[in-house]
């Protein structure tokens, strides 16, 4: 990130008309498990997470999580996906494993209909549809009206399906070697041509288009599920994508989180973790991402408008800040605040505390080593000698 130096006196000449979203700030939550968490869904006013060794977690707020009994704890019996529909949660996974629960608490194992792994499940058109298969040997699609009794559909292709979505009255599923199938009823499927042999890891529907992420850091889109176009290449490899709160959110390896308002232009976000993230969902006005080693991250999604009118025409303060390096904020401290125990705090524009540190500010200047801040407007507070001083500063890419 190339940061331009912005003195407080220069803020008068800057116009801010964009909208900043709080998802640039992700908070780590305690999951109570070290297992890999593979999928999360929001439904019936609660979040449900599934993962390795039959792990199932539930939460009403995304902060406090409760472990549920799935009926299996074998390390090999992983749960790869979970969905909610028709007053029932359904989770699928290893070797055709299907679990259901009306409340997310009491889970029942269904009759196994396939010896192949099930990677993804969704609900639409009054039914559940689960997909999976062998890596390069079999394509599996199961359907169910009630989530309990399942039927196996014959597809006639030989590649594993990894993700399925229902949107605009159409099921679309994607998988290995660029396979794409569409169906209006979940039973009869048509193969579509993408023009690539790259694996497709995840698909979602939003803003009147289907968006899929694939190998080689590529994103694809389609207006009808039939004709597909390559949109863009991202800097990092993504694994999962959803649409929620008027934007696309995608997660992947090394804590990667990216957001886009149109599926074309993507912005990287600071997750605060280096763990691989496997899934993300939106519900109850927040995003929650899950991943390896029991990782759970939450981010509020309330849009915060940053308007010119919010910046005063004059700022009665002697504070001046600038970045010497992307991680070092230099502060000019007024004489009234010079102390060996000054407290400096950085807030975002919504007033959320991002960073706080004790400073030795006896010479009129101080430095804070902090993580690189995204572009935006911030507030710096200095407290010392019984006095407080606040000032806004901006970071420009």
Q: What pLDDT is recorded for position 393? A: 66
pLDDT at position 323, please?
Answer: 60
E-state strands within 54-126: 56-59, 66-68, 79-85, 88-93, 98-101, 108-109, 118-124
Token duo for residue 194: 């993408």
Residue 224 CA to residue 168 CA, distance in Å, equals 9
pLDDT for 394: 64
- The full length of the chain comes to 397
In the chain, domain spans: 8-15+306-395, 19-304
Q: State how far the Cα of 42 lies from the Cα of 83, in Å rounded to an integer.
A: 8
pLDDT in tens, 198-228: 999 999 999 999 999 998 889 999 999 999 9
- At residue 7, the pLDDT reads 35
**Residue 11: predicted pLDDT:** 31
Sequence-separated (6 or more) residues with CB below 8 Å from residue 315 = 8, 9, 11, 391, 392
* Contact indicator for 188, 201 with CB cutoff of 8 Å: no
Pairing between β-strand 98-101 and β-strand 108-109 as defined by DSSP bridges: antiparallel
- CA–CA gap between residue 391 and residue 181 (Å, rounded): 55
* Three-class SS state of 394: strand
Element (H, E) at 345: strand 339-348
Exposed/middle/buried for residue 308 (C-beta within 10 Å: 0-12, 13-18, 19+): exposed
pLDDT value, residue 307: 34
What is the C-alpha separation between 365 and 360, in angstroms, rounded?
A: 9
d(CA 353, CA 347): 4
> Is this prediction's pTM over 0.75?
no
**Which residue numbers in the chain have pLDDT < 50?**
1-24, 303-318, 397
Predicted pLDDT of residue 324: 63
CA atoms of 30 and 275, how far apart (whole Å): 14
CATH level 2 (architecture), domain 19-304? 7 Propeller (2.130)
pLDDT one-digit tens code per residue, 11-28: 322 222 233 333 446 899
Taking alpha carbons only, the member of 309, 315, 326, 335 closest to residue 380 is 315
What does the alpha-carbon distance between residue 91 and residue 162 come to, in Å, rounded to a whole number? 14
- For residue 127, list its beta bridge partners: 124
CATH of span 8-15+306-395? 2.60.40.3080
Distance CA(84)–CA(393), nearest Å, equals 44
């Amino acid at each position: 990130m190339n940061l331009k130096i912005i003195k407080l006196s220069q803020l008068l000449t800057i116009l801010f008309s964009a909208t900043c979203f709080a998802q640039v700030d992700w908070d780590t939550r305690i999951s109570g498990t070290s297992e890999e968490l593979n999928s999360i869904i929001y439904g019936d006013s609660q979040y449900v997470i599934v993962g390795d060794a039959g792990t199932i977690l539930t939460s009403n707020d995304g902060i406090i999580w409760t472990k549920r009994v799935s009926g299996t704890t074998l390390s090999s019996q992983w749960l790869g996906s979970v969905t909610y529909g028709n007053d029932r949660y359904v989770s699928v996974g290893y070797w055709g494993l299907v679990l259901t629960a009306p409340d997310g608490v009491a889970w029942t194992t269904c009759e196994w209909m396939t010896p192949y792994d099930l990677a993804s499940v969704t609900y639409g058109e009054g039914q559940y549809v689960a997909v999976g298969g062998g890596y390069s040997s079999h394509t599996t699609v199961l359907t169910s009206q009630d989530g309990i009794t399942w039927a196996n559909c014959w597809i006639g292709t030989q590649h594993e399906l990894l993700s399925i979505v229902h949107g605009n009255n159409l099921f679309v599923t994607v998988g290995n070697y660029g396979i794409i199938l569409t169906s209006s009823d979940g039973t009869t499927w048509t193969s579509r041509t993408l023009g690539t042999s790259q694996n497709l890891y995840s698909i979602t529907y939003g803003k009147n288009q289907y968006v899929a992420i694939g190998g080689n850091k590529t994103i694809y889109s389609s207006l009808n599920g039939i004709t597909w176009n390559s949109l863009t290449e991202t800097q990092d490899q993504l694994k999962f994508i959803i649409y929620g709160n008027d934007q696309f959110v995608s997660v992947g390896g090394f804590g990667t989180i990216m957001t886009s308002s149109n599926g074309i232009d993507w912005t990287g976000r600071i997750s605060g973790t280096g763990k691989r993230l496997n899934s993300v969902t939106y519900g109850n006005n927040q995003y929650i991402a899950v991943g390896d080693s029991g990782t759970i991250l939450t981010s509020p999604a309330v849009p915060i408008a940053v308007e010119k009118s919010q910046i005063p025409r004059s700022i009665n303060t002697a504070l001046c800040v600038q970045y010497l390096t992307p991680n070092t904020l230099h502060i000019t401290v007024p004489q009234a605040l010079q102390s060996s125990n000054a407290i400096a705090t950085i807030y975002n524009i919504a007033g959320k505390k991002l960073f706080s540190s004790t400073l030795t500010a006896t010479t009129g200047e101080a430095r804070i080593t902090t993580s690189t801040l995204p572009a935006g407007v911030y507030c710096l507070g200095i407290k010392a000698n019984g006095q407080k001083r606040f000032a806004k500063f901006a970071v420009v890419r």
